[in-house]
Amino acid sequence: MSSEVIDSNPYSRLMALKRMGIVNNYEQIRNFSVAVVGVGGVGSVAAEMLTRCGIGRLLLYDYDTVELANMNRLFFRPEQAGMTKTDAAVQTLLQINPDVILESYTINITTMDGFNKFVESLKRQVMSHTRGGSTGVDLVLSCVDNYEARMVVNQACNELGQTWMESGVSEDAVSGHIQLLIPGETACFACAPPLVVASGIDERTLKREGVCAASLPTTMGIVAGVLVQNALKYLLQFGLVSKYLGYSALKDFFPTMEMRPNPQCSNEACLDRQKEYLEQKPARDAAKAAAELESAESEASIPLHSDNIWNISVVEDHEPVSSVSTAKQENLPDGLLWELPTADTLETTLSEEILAENGDLDDLQRQLDALNAS
């Protein structure tokens, strides 16, 4: 991956991230394998972004075909109508960047056979270097559009101890979210009770009744953008990876929160990962103390960068999110005043993200009312 600044180098603007001090190791992106599950409005754009970033290896999963009705989202072209989404995606992505190793799986992961193939493909070691963990991929990005498929990704990742990111866009097209799921450490997709979806609504009725969910290329593009941006931050270890980031298009509101795992989670693999995570606590605490000691020593010798008025810095994973606003206020020049949240995180056992999946607000409220009444 060359950093030479010539018009013919597709990586010059990416390698410039090193010169700018944003990413220390950009060329390592060639070593990473990322799985994109669901190649629809979000997944296809996420795959294109990763491809243009020069990701090492991309695994694509979908069983659907391209339709003209998909043309209101980015990526697919009208002449690809009728092709499988995986074939169409490989066609386009290969053309954009032949350096990327593409593997496509035209399978339905919610079937028993599909699930087994999915798990086997995640375990296969192809690249020499991974971000840690025992699988053959560094990160799984879930870009599916239904609850059942999310639960399948959740099951596979819990079993494998595989870190993944979930994404979703509401059926009214004006909200979305991404979420980071680290088995045992953060809430899994089954940890928070999926009140709405588990109550018997079949999402497939939408198509059967001759109606369809709304979608917008803007919302899909924004969700794909924040998903891959956080994937890059996670893989290349710069900035702060969001645990949960929501997006409300009507008001340009971007809530963040964190969700802890549920000790009563119904998913047994999740409970196993939680147990392992707790058992590893002494080792983590020791490593953290050592890192803090080292950090304190280096701070004593090197003065704080007091002239960084925008407070842009590489943030340690363990730094509490609430310190963002405090730090920002202290470093603003005279005459500028920020009115920020004193804390922008929220810990809750009720998953907003699962509630937000449901586009029909009235129906959701009726179900909550019924639960409260019973």
Site for a second copy in 97-156 (CB under 8 A): 97
Three-state DSSP at 370 gives helix
- Asked if residue 74 binds a second copy (CB under 8 A), the reply is yes
Distance in angstroms (rounded) separating the CA atoms of residues 122 and 144: 17
Return the residue of 290, 291, 309, 370 that touches a second copy, per CB under 8 A: 309
Q: Which of 157, 188, 212, 265 is catalytic?
A: 212
Smallest distance, a second copy to C-beta of residue 46, A? 9
Determine which residue in the list 139, 224, 235, 236 makes contact with a second copy, applying CB under 8 A.
Answer: 224
Which helix (H) or strand (E) element contains residue 14?
A: helix 12-19
Q: Side-chain half-sphere of 126: how many Cα atoms within 13 Å?
A: 21
Q: Are strands 101-105 and 33-37 parallel, antiparallel or unpaired?
A: unpaired
Where does residue 80 rank: exposed (0-12), middle (13-18), buried (19+ CB within 10 A)?
Answer: buried
Task: Find, among 283, 261, 285, 282, the residue nearest to 273 by Cα.
Answer: 261
Q: Does 242 bind a second copy (CB under 8 A)?
A: yes
Distance (Å, whole) CA 240 – CA 230:
8
Local structure of 306: helix, strand or coil: coil
Q: Is residue 359 part of the contact set for a second copy (CB under 8 A)?
A: yes
40 burial type by CB count under 10 A (0-12 exposed, 13-18 middle, 19+ buried): buried
Q: Look at residue 181 and give its three-state secondary structure.
A: strand
What is the chain's percent helix, strand, coil content, to nearest 5?
A: 40, 10, 45
**Smaller CB separation from a second copy, 337 or 373:** 337
Where are the strands (E) in 156-291, listed by range?
A: 164-169, 175-181, 244-248
Choose the binding region for a second copy from 12-20, 107-115, 118-126, 296-304 (rule: CB under 8 A).
12-20
Select from 253, 285, 289, 294 the one that contacts a second copy (CB under 8 A): 253
Least distance from a second copy to the Cβ atom of residue 276, Å = 29
Q: Is 341 a binder of a second copy (CB under 8 A)? A: yes
| Interface segment toward a second copy; rule CB under 8 A; list 122-130, 149-157, 264-272, 357-365 | 357-365
Active site residue 265: no
Which positions from 279 through 308 interact with a second copy, judged by CB under 8 A? 307-308
- For position 198 contacting a second copy by CB under 8 A, the verdict is no
What Å distances lie between residue 194 and 90, 199, 246, 358, CA to CA?
A: 34, 8, 17, 10
Length of the chain: 374
Does residue number 249 form part of the binding site for a second copy (CB under 8 A)? yes
Binding flag, residue 218, a second copy (CB under 8 A): yes
Which residue in the set 57, 73, 150, 273 belongs to the binding site for a second copy (CB under 8 A)? 73
Rounded to a whole number of angstroms, the minimum distance from the CB of residue 110 to a second copy is 21
**List 45, 122, 143, 156, residue binding a second copy (CB under 8 A):** 45
CB of 251 or CB of 281, closer to a second copy: 251
Taking CB under 8 A as the binding criterion, the range among 138-146, 155-163, 215-223, 262-270 that sits at the site for a second copy is: 215-223
Q: Is 96 in the site for a second copy (CB under 8 A)?
A: yes
| Pairing of β 57-61 and β 164-169 | unpaired
**Any idea which residues carry the catalytic annotation?**
212
